Copies of this chain bind each other. A is one copy, B any other.
């Protein structure tokens, strides 16, 4: 009897999903003036970070983002439609090389201060130490 009452509060899945919903709303709201949502911001930032001049392969990008390959296909379609990202075939014609456009870089730069504000808000809630702990824990979950 008491057991069923205790499970939801301690469930790792429930708690991390709930926190992810909350945090997503914070970033989405903060990024709103820039016309970006958190997922798209992350996608553009990852593209900017991984740009070796020739673009990034879909599979590699999905791996870096820690999301399913097919999820990236849908998310990237939005970035393509908005002209933030460009996808080109490679010499190996199975491959698709993804790269930021100039508009994408501009949008990312425009969004950066709003991201910074949201990130700062999180730091004020968790403290620098708390955020570092959170990142450590999430990394330990990802790398399994």
Binding site for B on A (CB under 8 A): 4-5, 7-24, 26-27, 38-39, 42, 45-46, 48-49, 65-68, 108, 112, 115, 118-119, 122, 125-126, 130-131, 133-135, 137-142, 144
Contacts and interface: CB of A to CB of B under 8 A. Distances in A.
A79 to B, nearest CB: 15
Nearest to A123: B12
Interface centre among A11, A16, A27, A133, by most B CB within 10 Å? A16
| Chain A binding surface SS class | helix
A15 B49 contact: no
- Copies, count: 2
A14 B41 CA distance: 9
B144 A4 contact: no
A19 B66 CA distance: 8
Contacts of A26: 13
A16 B13 contact: no
B11 A20 contact: no
A66 B16 CA distance: 11
Given A5-B49, A38-B13, A42-B14, A19 B138 contact: yes
